[in-house]
Amino acid sequence: MSRIGKSPVTIPSGVEVKIDGATISVKGPKGELSQVLEEGVTVEQVENTLVFNRASDAPDHRAKHGLYRSVVSNMVNGVSEGYKKVLEVIGVGYRADAQGQRLTLALGFSHPIIFEIPKEVKVSAETVKGKAPVVTLESHDKQLLGQVAAKIRSFRKPEPYKGKGIRFQGEIIRRKAGKSAGK
Model confidence pLDDT, tens digit, residues 151-181: 999 999 999 999 999 999 999 999 998 887 5
For the cut 60, the answer to whether the pLDDT of residue 183 exceeds it is no
Whether domain 83-168 has CATH 3.40.228.10: no
- In which order are the strands placed within the sheet that holds 16-20? 16-20, 23-28, 31-36
The CATH code that applies to domain 3-80 is 3.90.930.12
Convert the pLDDT of each residue in 59-110 to its tens digit: 889 889 999 999 999 999 999 999 999 999 999 999 999 999 999 999 999 9
The secondary structure of residue 179, as a DSSP letter, is G
Taking CA atoms, 66 is separated from 23, 38, 43, 146, in Å, by: 17, 13, 12, 20
The residues spanned by each domain of the chain are 3-80, 83-168
Q: How far apart are CA 30 and CA 161, in angstroms?
A: 41
Report yes or no: 76 and 30 within 8 Å, Cβ to Cβ. no
Task: Rounding to the nearest 10 degrees, give the CA dihedral for residues 110, 169, 128, 153.
Answer: 20
Q: What's the pTM?
A: 0.88
Q: pLDDT tens digits for 134-156? A: 999 999 999 999 999 999 999 99
- Asked if residue 78 lies in contact with residue 142, where contact means CB atoms within 8 angstroms, the answer is yes
